């Protein structure tokens, strides 16, 4: 049974947010990836279209989520299902960091509006 200690997690940063990677093929996962996301106050990440389903659970704080053109405010203990091909934008309009837990299948990519393709290391 692989146990990933918090001290072994790998931190990545992009678009002002932090992704603390726990479950990936590098740590022994065969199908899924999981990470903690930290979205600092005032962060507005660019919209991106995901290639795989993601499940985002908000642990603390609140976020404005725009999913396929619809904007909703989510708060702690809310869960968001992001289907493959959906376009997602995340914004933290508050004065404190929001913390998420996200899972997806290995191989997730995200395409920005300008066509830039991102292969996040925390999801591969």
Identify the CATH number of the domain in which residue 93 sits: 2.60.120.10
Q: What's the whole-number average pLDDT of the chain?
A: 96
Q: Is 1 contained in some domain?
A: no
Residue 1 has pLDDT above 70, yes or no: no
50: containing domain: 16-123
Q: Pick from 76, 46, 82: which is nearest to 63 by CA? A: 76
CA distance 4 to 38: 19
Residue 89 lies in a domain: yes
Collapse the DSSP code of 115 into the 3-class scheme (helix H, G, I; strand E, B; otherwise coil) and give the result. coil
Q: For the chain, how far is it from start to end, CA to CA, in angstroms?
A: 20
* Percent of residues, the chain, with pLDDT higher than 70: 99
Task: Determine the average pLDDT of the residues in 108-124.
Answer: 95
Within a domain: 34? yes
Give a yes or no: residue 58 inside a domain: yes
pTM for the full predicted model: 0.93
On the question of pLDDT at 57 being above 90, the answer is yes
What is the domain count for the chain?
A: 1
- Domain membership of residue 46 (yes or no) is yes
pLDDT of residue 21: 97
Q: Residue range 70-90: average pLDDT?
A: 98
Cβ atoms 34, 102 nearer than 8 A: yes
On the question of pLDDT at 46 being above 90, the answer is yes
**In Å, what is the CA distance from 10 to each residue of 35, 64, 120?**
9, 26, 12
């Amino acid at each position: 049974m692989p146990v990933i200690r918090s001290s072994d997690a790998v931190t990545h940063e992009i678009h002002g947010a932090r992704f603390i990677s726990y479950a990936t093929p590098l740590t022994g996962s065969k199908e899924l990836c999981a990470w903690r996301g930290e979205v600092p106050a005032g962060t507005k990440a660019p919209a991106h279209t995901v290639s795989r389903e993601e499940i985002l659970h908000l642990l603390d704080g609140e976020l404005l989520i725009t999913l396929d053109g619809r904007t909703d405010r989510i708060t702690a203990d809310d869960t968001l299902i992001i289907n493959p091909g959906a376009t997602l934008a995340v914004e933290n309009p508050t004065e404190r960091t929001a913390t998420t837990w996200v899972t997806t299948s290995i191989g997730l990519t995200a395409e920005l509006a300008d066509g830039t393709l991102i292969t996040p290391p925390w999801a591969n």
